[in-house]
Amino acid sequence: AGIEQLPAGDFSLYDHVLDAAFAFDLVPARFRALNLNGIDLYFAMARGVAGGRGTETLEMTKWFDTNYHYIVPELTGEEEFSLTRNTPLEIYQEGAGLGFNVRPAMLGPVSLLYLSKFKRDGKSPLHLLERCTAGYATLLKRLSAAGADWVQLDEPVLVLDLDEDFRNAFRICYERLAKEAPAIKILLATYFGPLRENLALAQSLSINALHLDLVRGREQLDEAIRNRPDHLTLSLGLVDGRNIWKTDLKRALGTIEEAARVMPPERIFLAPSCSLLHVPVDLKGETALNPEIRNWLAFGVQKLEEVSLLTRGLNEGRDAVRSELEENARAIEARRSSGLVSKEAVRRRLAELNDSQLIRTSPHAVRSRRQRDALSLPLLPTTTIGSFPQTEQLRRERLRWKKGELTAGDYEQFIRREIEHAIRCQEEIALDVLVHGEAERNDMVEYFGELLEGFAFTENGWVQSYGSRCVKPPIIYGDVARRAPMTVDWWQFAQSLTDRAVKGMLTGPVTILQWSFVRDDQPRRDTCFQLALAIRDETVDLENAGCRVIQIDEPALREGLPLRKDDTGKYVQWAVDCFRLASSGIQDVTQLHTHMCYANFNDIVDAIAAMDADVISLESARSQMELLHAFAGDHYANDIGPGVYEVHSPRVPETEEMIALLERALQVIPAQRLWVNPDCGLKTRRWEEVIPSLTNMVSAAVELRKILNVDRN
Ligand code: GLN
Ligand code: ZN
């Protein structure tokens, strides 16, 4: 695409944080004991070892506010940070050998420490700062000796609220790096937000270039220019690395030209706002997209072309890129004025919203009595989170149907048989509240997106989620509206097979928003309210069809939390309002469930309480119910189902261990409010694992009911 300096080493076999940890030999003892080498050891840390006892994989957690998961390095305080695997050097040599101008890129030292898990009570990972810095210094010296002019160190933690110790760590670390490897130039990259009070700190470091995310933090540019030390290059991230819309090139070029008037142009780099890991690779193969919408989009390859074009515009003047700029301006204008985007009816409904639509008729205490009478559930009711195994056969049949090899009728028959199987299994196991199993859903967001107006889908728009798992986020390009009921028929069929209550299963508005590419021509909040209205209509239709328990999943609510404390209040307010708008159209007697996972819930307990679901199921087995303390006492008054077993492993949990976990839960949650369920949906498991696991889970509940001998009411 004409990019002049190529970051290298940011391609990873599994994850770039693990890559940094692995380079510096941050291998926990339990993996060393396996006597594996190279790539086998690397994958053992990421994915575990089949049948290997005591070799739990490293934890995985969300990368800032993205849907990408990184591997969390574990530190004990004994680590030496010796550079045992100099992959950055090898990659540099390979790239340079091919004649490219390569800039080795990797996670920076302070972010590495910050993002690791320090397993030593009362001590900060900064305890390791000196050794960590020494390790990086060695790396920089070797790169420099091999001929590298530049190195890129990513320090995204600079966009977070940092305490003084971490801010100081930056000063100490970068001063030493510059001293020990003076010949190599450091580009320090920040992204996902403005630096705010950390901007002055970053500009004072002994570095040669600072990359700024100007999509998320346009406001920091003026100050960055004003306070720029003479030697410091600014790398301007004006092309959005987190979203798929074309850049408004004239506007971006205007910003760049302004910068070039007040600082030397040779001190300007141009780049995407962040890594392109978060967008699909290439728009070229997307032939099925509506051409009108396609013309508004830019994926990874197109974004590089945009960077390159902006560079030419700056270096050679606007005339040199006139026709490209005009073409871009036409696309930007076409999107702005397109008839596809705006829907009058949706806008009117939102304008007429009132607060009474955000509250259920009665408070939970009243509702829960009505629901109990209607559902006649035992103490410690058992349920699951929604999905059952998406078997090989199920995926094959779906693919055949999509390719036209299977008729819609035959596919539907097949799904009905899957649902019937799921219901029969659950009856056999004697679960209390059943689910239909979500066999008809490829993905919990894509399924709804495909049925809603305002969404577009790509064929190959895959984005890495973790390891070899990718997701294909839908694109929300216009006002969202529901054409017709989306889940009622499947639910009705499932309920017709059994006397036990079957949950209606919906994905919540915040999660649909969070896991899609969202339009950038209105606030995210507004799009979320539109989604909430659509889900609300669905809950009412389910209820009218006779559904007595409805679950609205919001696993992504936590990850949407802004990175800075000061910004969280507003988000929590509208996110909770959206959930409440989606869920408050139903009557008291209908029991509302929600589910969350993948996160630490401590900092959003109040938000969870404000969502006012009758029951929440949470991932918690891995943390041994630790997180429940946040829900103890007055913090949370509704029912709660802390997961009693981990669903990401094929292991079948024993009844006794689940009893033990439930006993821990009972220390903080009264029995009358406790539910029994797994951590999350079971779609990645096999039936051979699911049936014994759930059988043991139900036994655990039955055993405890005997011991507890408390009245359900
Ligand atoms: N109902 C969904 C399922 O069971 C929830 C998935 C999730 O929490 N990520 O698959
Ligand atoms: Zn989940």
What is the dihedral sign for C-alpha 265, 269, 270, 274? negative
The four Cα atoms 273, 275, 276, 279 give a dihedral, to 10 degrees, of -80
683 lines ligand 1 (CB under 6 A): yes
Q: Judge whether residue 278 has pLDDT over 80.
A: yes
8 A C-beta contact, residue 146 and residue 106: no
Which of residues 48 and 566 earns the better pLDDT score? 566
Residue whose CA lies nearest to ligand 1 atom number 4: 681
pLDDT at 291 over 60: yes
Report H helices in 506-564.
509-514, 524-544
The minimum-distance atom of ligand 1 relative to the CA of 597 is 8
Residue nearest ligand 1's atom 5 by CA = 681
Long-range contacts of 310-318 (CB under 8 A, 24+ apart): 310/238, 310/239, 310/247, 310/249, 310/252, 310/253, 310/256, 310/270, 311/2, 311/4, 311/270, 312/2, 313/249, 313/253, 313/256, 314/253, 314/256, 314/257, 314/260, 314/265, 314/268, 314/270, 315/265, 318/253
Q: Which ligand is nearest to the CA of 556?
A: 1
The candidate with the shortest Cα–Cα distance to 69, out of 137, 17, 123, is: 17
* Residue count (the chain): 713
Question: What pLDDT is recorded for position 711?
Answer: 63
The confidence score (pLDDT) of residue 469 equals: 87
Region of poorest pLDDT, from 106-115, 178-187, 641-650: 641-650
Residue-wise pLDDT for 327-385, tens only, equals 999 999 999 999 999 999 999 999 999 999 999 999 999 999 999 999 999 999 999 99
The pLDDT-based confidence of 177 (bands split at 50, 70, 90) is very high
* Cβ 385 under 6 angstroms from ligand 1: yes
Q: Is the CB of 681 under 6 A from ligand 1?
A: yes
Q: Does the pLDDT at position 168 exceed 80?
A: yes
Q: Is 616 in the pocket of ligand 1 (CB under 6 A)?
A: no
Q: Is the CB of 435 under 6 A from ligand 1?
A: no
- The residues pairing with 505 across neighbouring beta strands, listed in sequence order, are 551
Lowest mean pLDDT among 193-207, 259-273, 625-639: 625-639
% the chain with pLDDT above 90: 89
List pLDDT tens digits, range 97-127: 999 999 999 999 999 999 999 887 778 899 9
| Per-residue pLDDT, 650 | 84
Degrees (nearest 5) of the Cα angle 22, 26, 29? 120
Q: How confident is the model at residue 280 (pLDDT cuts 50, 70, 90)?
A: very high
* Structure tokens that stand for 532 in this block: 């909430």
Which ligand is the nearest neighbour of the Cα of 620? 2
pLDDT > 90? residue 56: no
Tokens describing residue 277: 């890991």
pLDDT score at 464: 94
- What is the whole-number distance in angstroms between the Cα of residue 438 and the centre of ligand 1? 9
The residue whose CA has the least distance to atom 3 of ligand 1 is: 681
List the residue whose alpha carbon is closest to atom 10 of ligand 1. 681
pLDDT at 713: 52
C-alpha closest to that of 7 among 148, 114, 112, 140: 148
444 CA from centroid of ligand 1 (Å): 7
- pLDDT tens figures, 620-637: 887 788 888 888 888 899
- The predicted-structure confidence for 294-343, as pLDDT tens digits, reads as follows 999 999 999 999 999 999 999 999 999 999 999 999 999 999 999 999 99
Q: Residue 61 pLDDT > 90, yes or no?
A: no
**Ligand 1, atom nearest to 507 Cα:** 1
**Cα 314–Cα 320–Cα 325 angle in degrees, nearest 5:** 80
According to the model, what pLDDT value does residue 68 have?
A: 94
What pLDDT, on a 0 to 100 scale, did the predictor assign at position 463?
Answer: 95
150 DSSP β-pair partners: 185
pLDDT in tens, 423-435: 999 999 999 999 9
Query: H or E element: which one contains 503?
Result: strand 503-507
Mean pLDDT confidence for 70-96:
95
The response to whether residue 597 sits with its C-beta less than 6 Å from ligand 1 reads yes
The confidence score (pLDDT) of residue 602 equals 83
Atom nearest to 555 CA in ligand 1: 8
Give 14's pLDDT tier (boundaries 50, 70, 90). very high
Kindly report the average pLDDT of the chain as a whole number. Answer: 95
- Residue 507 is predicted with a pLDDT of 98
Query: Which residues are CB-contacts of 607 (< 8 A; sequence separation ≥ 6)?
Result: 557, 572, 575, 576
**Ligand 1 binding pocket mutation candidate from 438, 491, 511 (most atoms within 8 A of CB):** 438
Give DSSP secondary structure letters for 21-33. HHHTT---HHHHT
pLDDT at 638: 96
Ligand 1: residue whose CA is nearest its atom 8: 555
| Poorest-pLDDT segment among 137-151, 174-188, 595-609 | 595-609
Is there a contact between 297 and 245 (Cβ–Cβ < 8 Å)? Answer: yes
User: Quick one: pLDDT at residue 50?
Assistant: 72
Q: Is 687 left (phi over 0), alpha (psi -120 to 50) or beta?
A: alpha
Task: Tell me the residue type at 640.
Answer: I
Whole-number pLDDT of residue 518:
98
Which positions are catalytic? Answer: 648
Helix (H, G, I), strand (E, B) or coil at 106: strand
Nearest ligand, CA 685: 1
Alpha helix stretches (DSSP H) within 98-163: 109-115, 129-145
Distance 464 CA to ligand 1 centre (A): 19
Q: Are 34 and 55 in contact (CB under 8 A)?
A: yes
